[in-house]
Structure 1
Amino acid sequence: MSETEHLKIRVETPTAEALKPFGVVLGRDESVAPLPIDLYEGRVKVRRAGKFVSDDKTEMTVCTLQRRPYIAEYMERHTEHTQAFVPLGSKPFVALFAPPNEEALPDLKEIRAFLFDGSAGFMMHRGTWHEFPFAVLDDTDLLVILRSEATEGLKSDNVIGNEAVGPDLEKRDMAARFGVKIELEL
C-alpha cells in the first residue's frame, strides 16, 4: 500500500471577503443595513446575516468538541440545505472549506482553512465542501444547524468503507479518494 501524502493548508484569519466562496459570517456586520423594525425605541437592530435554506426537517444540535490533530481525513457536503456552525462560550475553532462544485469530490486546489475566534459563527452555502470543525480548546461547544437527515446519515449503519452517504450527505475519505490527508498549519 502506498504512503498517504499530506497536503498542507495554512489557516487564515476569516474575513467576509475571504469566506465569500463558502458562505457568510454569522455575527455583527455593520455593512448590512438594519431592517425597518423600530420596536424598543431603536435599541434593538435586526440584520439578516444570510438566508438559511432547508426544505425538510431542520434541527439545532450542540456538539462538544475536544482537540484532535489538525489533519482532515474527510470532506463532506450537503446540496439540499445550508449548514451553520455557531460557537457557544466564545471559544475559537478552525474550519476547512472547499467551494461548491458539480464534481463528485472537492477541488483540492481550492481548499482553505480559517481560525474563527469564537465571536461569530459561519453559515455555508449549499454544496460547500467542509470537514467538521476542529477545536482549539477542549470542551468547545458549537451550535450546529442542519437538516435532520444529514445527522441521520452520519450514523454507523450509513458508513460504508469509511464514507457516509445519505439523502443530503456526501462524506468522502480524502486518503482513499486522493491519497492525501489535509494537514492544517496554524
Structure 2
Amino acid sequence: METYLLLKLCPQLMTSETFQPFGQVIFACPDDQPYGDRDAQLQLQNGIPRLYIMRRHNRGLKFNHITRHQRCTQCLGALEGKEWFMAVAAPSEAAAPEWEDIIAFRIPGNCFIKLHEGTWHAGPYFEQPAIDFYSLELSDTNLVDHHTCNLLETYGVDFEILPSSIGGSVW
C-alpha cells in the first residue's frame, strides 16, 4: 500500500492584493466608469472566446490534480451569489508547481476571478449540492490548452480545503 500525505489548506480571504500573483478579482463598479485596471485584463487573442455556464456538482473539498492554461486567461464566477473555493499556484515554466506554493482562496459570490495565463488552479470547490458558474476562456481551451499535474503521483500529496478555517496551510 502506497503512503501519501494529506495536506489541509485553510482558505485565505479574497482581496485584489492577495490574489494578484494568480490573477485579478473583479468587483462591481459604476456603469459609467471607463475601462481601466480594475477591469479584467483578458488575453483571448489565440482563438475564439467562449463564454458559457457550467453546472458543477459537489465533489467534496479534496483534490490531487492541478491544471493550467498557457494560451489564455480564464474568468470564473458563481451565479446566484454563492461562495466557493479555488486552490492556486503562481504561473511557472515548470511542468508542476511546487506543492508548498499551493494555496486556497474563499471566493465570495459578489465577484469573479480572472486567472493569469499559466496560473495553476484546482476547483471550483464548494459545499452546496451544485453551483452554476460562468466561464470565459477559449473555445478549445479544454482540448488543446489543458496541462494537468497529478500531485499524488508527482509529490505523494493530496489536498483538502478546510472551509471553516481562514488563512494558511496545515501540514
Distance 1:12 1:106 in 2: 19
Distance 1:56 1:76 in 2: 19
Give the structure 2 partner of residue 113 of structure 1: 104
Q: Percent identity?
A: 24
Equivalent of 2:125, from 121, 126, 134? 134
Greater gyration radius: 1
Would you say the 8 A contact 1:60–1:146 is kept in 2? yes
Would you say the 8 A contact 1:65–1:135 is kept in 2? no
Q: Which runs of 5+ in 2 are unaligned?
A: 164-171
Would you say the 8 A contact 1:97–1:131 is kept in 2? yes
Distance 2:154 2:28 in 1: 39
Give the structure 1 partner of residue 167 of structure 2: none
Deviation readout 1:162-181 (Å, 9 max, x if unpaired) = xxxxx311012111111111
Distance 1:22 1:85 in 2: 13
TM (normalized to structure 1)? Answer: 0.80
Equivalences for 1:64-83 in 2 at 5 Å?
64-83=55-74
Equivalent of 2:153, from 165, 170, 176? 176
Letter in 1 for 2:7: L
Quote the offset at 1:75 in angstroms.
Answer: 0.2
Distance 2:149 2:117 in 1: 17
Would you say the 8 A contact 2:52–2:134 is kept in 1? yes
Distance 1:7 1:119 in 2: 29
Letter in 1 for 2:57: Q
What secondary structure sits across from 2:121 in the alignment?
strand
What secondary structure sits across from 1:17 in the alignment?
helix
Corresponding position: 1:50 with 2:27? no
User: What stretches of structure 1 move > 3 A for 4+ residues in a row?
Assistant: none
Distance 1:116 1:136 in 2: 12
When the two structures are aligned, how many residues end up with a matched partner?
A: 160
Deviation readout 1:20-59 (Å, 9 max, x if unpaired) = 0000012136xxxx8xxxxxxxx63344412110211221
Give the structure 2 partner of residue 22 of structure 1: 22
| Structure with larger RCO (C-alpha < 8 A, sep 6+) | 2
